[in-house]
Structure 1
């Protein structure tokens, strides 16, 4: 047995959660610049700056037996979040509050959540992809939070969100949003609906990526491990 760290109280989030909920209903995605509570942002920023290279592993694509490393698709590294620090506990508490709110308001049936810290060094990228596929009974809602101070347009590393439908036109810009990864910015979107990519960063870029899942146990299908 071990004692969990004391979790610093996190600010009331009702107005933020309401905005996210309304955006999900209206558009399927939500972008909230500089919206993560300052006390939580400070905790996460302090924690992520203490992580060393040994805490990270190269990110791959696919899950379980299909998991593979592909330098063509993504070159970032990740560190999975568990409740082993004050910052991680506070983050899990915040996402649990978001989960409960969205379940009450939107009846999404969100059951579990997983997340990791992401680190992109200069030149790293993640090409266009989806977090889930229709009928896959896996990720339902994606959550991204950025932990980069004084990020400028010249630093690159933007998240680009695309429309799900392909256009018949040979040349078309089907982007619905381009998000600068500035400190405290929150992005939430339906995992099955929006292809997205991370453009090459020009300097170290930090974020948290997470996913809400449904309860697959009712279908007698085990949740695949990441």
Structure 2
């Protein structure tokens, strides 16, 4: 499953502060090449640069935004209607795609490990976009393959857009951006709830 919405009135100031912190992190050269889940043979699979919030204790607006994404996962788990049991959340990761940046189609977890139950894996992805004044001409859309529709769904990385999807079920990609693009991601570790 998946869900997309825009954060409502009252969130603008906090989001703008988080976006400015992300820009500052990128401008200071504090980001490394995105390597999570990428084997050496797949290094051309993605061109983003990333930083983890644990390495940025003074980025208070980004940390508050990360807390929001963690709370979303907790609420989904507590609600119980999605059939997920979530154990913990990852640290927040800020990703920056420069002009021409992309991430080829991928899943956000090791699906084989999740299937055999040998390890806890990412099962839910929460992303919040921090791109002030993003235009569709800037590209950089998130594309998700929705099996139930048999089609790709496109989500523009506009400021305050929240995207939630099953990390183990939704094949997705970031199309080439034509402007600097920021996304804050928190993954939620868990499993499907036992069916009764």
Using structure 2 for the length normalisation, give the TM-score. 0.80
Cα distance, 1:97–1:73 mapped onto 2, change above 3 Å: same
Q: Report if aligned partners of 1:61, 1:69 keep a CA contact under 8 Å in 2.
A: no
Runs of 4+ off more than 4 Å: none
Match in the other structure for 2:52: 80
- Higher-Rg structure is 1
SS where residue 188 of structure 2 aligns?
strand
**1:153 aligned onto 2:136:** yes
Correspondence 1:184-195 to 2 at 5 A: 184-195=160-171
Per-residue CA deviation, residues 154-210 of structure 1 (Å, 9 max, x unaligned), is: 111000000348xxxxxxx721x1011100100000111110000000111111122
Give the unaligned 5+ runs of structure 1.
1-27, 166-172, 216-226
Q: Report if aligned partners of 2:70, 2:186 keep a CA contact under 8 Å in 1.
A: no
Give the unaligned 5+ runs of structure 2.
115-119, 192-196
| RMSD between superposed Cα atoms in Å | 2.5
Using structure 1 for the length normalisation, give the TM-score. 0.70
Q: Tell me how far apart the structure 2 counterparts of residues 129 and 178 of structure 1 sit (CA, whole Å).
A: 15
Q: Tell me how far apart the structure 1 counterparts of residues 66 and 178 of structure 2 sit (CA, whole Å).
A: 30
> Could you tell me which of 16, 19, 34 is aligned with 1:59?
34
Cα distance, 1:39–1:97 mapped onto 2, change above 3 Å: farther
**1:93 aligned onto 2:67:** yes
> Could you tell me which of 38, 48, 70 is aligned with 2:12?
38
Correspondence 1:1-226 to 2 at 5 A: 28-35=1-8, 37-51=11-25, 52-62=27-37, 67-68=39-40, 70-82=42-54, 84-85=57-58, 86-106=60-80, 108-114=84-90, 115-132=92-109, 133=111, 135-136=113-114, 137-164=120-147, 174-175=151-152, 177-214=153-190
Q: Which has the larger share of strand?
A: 2
Residue 123 of structure 1: how far off its partner (Å): 0.6
Moved more, 93-102 or 117-126: 93-102
Q: Report if aligned partners of 1:144, 1:207 keep a CA contact under 8 Å in 2.
A: yes
